Amino acid sequence: GRGGPGMTPNVDSQKQVGIPSNQTSIQSNQNGLQNQSALANDPLTLHLAKMSRSQLIEIISELKGMATHNKEMSRQLLLSRPQLPKALFQV
């Protein structure tokens, strides 16, 4: 149970450093809330949230068709508009 030569004892790394386990969960919850708050204030996210489901599906369908018929043009479009891949991911 103590390990032995070349073995490390089975001890929780948080307890070794002295960080209470509840503190790490509080920190991760705060980070999650900050990320959600940042998304809620993002203009792209707000714009997409105002669109109907059918509009979003139409956008995805159009881009899928373009990617199928003209792969290089689709690639150039995605590279030239950095927000477009993010928008597609959110859709």
The model's pLDDT over 48-61, given as tens digits with 9 standing for 90+, comes to 899 999 999 999 99
The model's pLDDT over 22-49, given as tens digits with 9 standing for 90+, comes to 555 555 555 555 555 555 678 888 988 9
The reply to whether the predicted model has a pTM over 0.85 is no
Q: Where are the domains of the chain?
A: 34-89
Q: At 6, list the tokens.
A: 């070349």
Name the more confident of 47 and 14: 47
> What is the four-CA torsion angle of 80, 84, 89, 91, rounded to 10 degrees?
-160
Between the alpha carbon of residue 68 and those of residues 73, 77, 84, the distances in Å are 10, 14, 17
